A = this chain, B = another copy of it.
Amino acid sequence: MIKIGVIGYGYWGPNIVRNLCAQQTFHVAAVCDQSPEALRRVQQTYPAIRTTANPSTITCSADLDAVAIVTPVWTHYELAKAALKNGKHVFVEKPFTSNTAQAEELIALADRNNLVIMVDHTFLFTGAVRKIRELIDARELGDIYYYDSLRVNLGMFQHDVNVVWDLAPHDLSIMEYLITDEPEAIAATGETHINGHEDVAFVTVFFPHRTIAHINVNWLSPVKVRTTLIGGEKKMIVWDDLEADEKIRVYDRGVRMDSALDRQKLLVSYRSGDMWAPRLEQVEALREEFNYFYDCIVKNQVPFNSGVAGWRIVRMIEAASRSMKLKGEPVLLNSTGTVTQEAKAA
């Protein structure tokens, strides 16, 4: 059984604690939060858990094997560094860090100490994303033409980051998980209306082999939308995450040029067949993720949502933020440095 401490008991923290407590493999020994009210709620629900307002009580604790960091992004680096230095495995909220330099330092530190970093890209553990990945791996879609995601709602504004830092990590990590090619460049546009950070943003990610991804994130939408279109050469998917059932619809539709000669005559043929909504596994994603965290620790294995995976997302957010300042000018994702070496290994 792995002894774990949790730092942060705000919006997402209670889910983390509840899920860890339900696992046979983890023992939640301590929870830290700045807010006395939060700690009071912990005590009421889990009288056996130690509470503290001081995070170093957890990062330096001698009797903990791992730390879950469920705090705002700007605190991740310091907390993770302290935990790793003290020999603890780290489970950390997305986005991993505030910049790539921090991420690289943490990855190196974990490497030296032979510790696991797992970044909480929860969506990768949902039945929906797993099913899409399965369909892509089975070549059901053929080549991927595009990945186009719409993730908009009203609020919740964050005071220190733009909407890409807040909402796009979901889409970027899913996109990365589904498209095996390495992204080459990012072009993004956006606008600032309320608090000095972009609250509306449109991010394009360029891949080799004519695959293109697009992510539309918005804190100022009157309605909540969570819809992704994935267009393939052979089949296409509409994923509506707000549907209770039938989140994923697979369309047997496509377009084909009949030969190079036809370009003049435009002999494009359309195929419009059945639609199919595969039943999805009813799993709780966090539960699956913690099982996997446990496995990676005990088997000394690098998770696919490792620090390096987290670094890749941060790198794309940095690039998108830079491109937005340049009103859409593309920013290359240079694949240099030791991190990428490691990425390939993972």
Contact = CB atoms under 8 A, between A and B. Distances in A.
Contacts of A263: 159, 195-196
Contacts of A53: none
A48 to B, nearest CB: 9
Contacts of A268: 155, 157, 194-195
A255 B219 contact: yes
B274 A195 contact: no
A140 to B, nearest CB: 13
A231 B200 contact: yes
Specify the main secondary structure of chain A where it touches its partner. strand
A277 B223 CA distance: 13
A275 B155 CA distance: 18
A220 interface: yes
Interface residues of A, number: 75
A346 to B, nearest CB: 28
A191 B210 contact: yes
A219 B255 CA distance: 9
A135 interface: no
Contacts of A264: 159
A105 B150 CA distance: 41
Interface in A206-264: 206, 210-212, 214, 216, 218-224, 229, 231, 236-238, 242, 244-246, 249, 251-253, 255-257, 263-264
B187 A189 contact: yes
Given A154-B255, A244-B224, A275-B276, A189 B204 contact: yes
Contacts of A145: 191, 193, 200, 220
A187 B190 contact: no
Interface of A: 45, 47, 145-146, 148, 150, 152, 154-155, 157-159, 185, 187-196, 200, 202, 204, 206, 210-212, 214, 216, 218-224, 229, 231, 236-238, 242, 244-246, 249, 251-253, 255-257, 263-266, 268, 270, 272-279, 323, 326-330
Contact of A229 (B45, B152, B193, B273): B152
10 contacts: A145-B191, A148-B216, A148-B218, A159-B265, A187-B189, A191-B211, A195-B268, A220-B236, A222-B237, A275-B277
Q: Which 4 A-B pairs have the closest CB atoms?
A: A187-B328, A222-B251, A159-B266, A222-B236
Nearest to A327: B330
B277 A274 contact: yes
A221 B206 contact: no
A328 B187 CA distance: 6
A71 to B, nearest CB: 16
Given A194-B257, A221-B236, A231-B220, A272 B154 contact: yes
Contact of A146 (B188, B218, B244): B218
B206 A327 contact: yes
Contacts of A148: 200, 216, 218
A196 B263 CA distance: 8
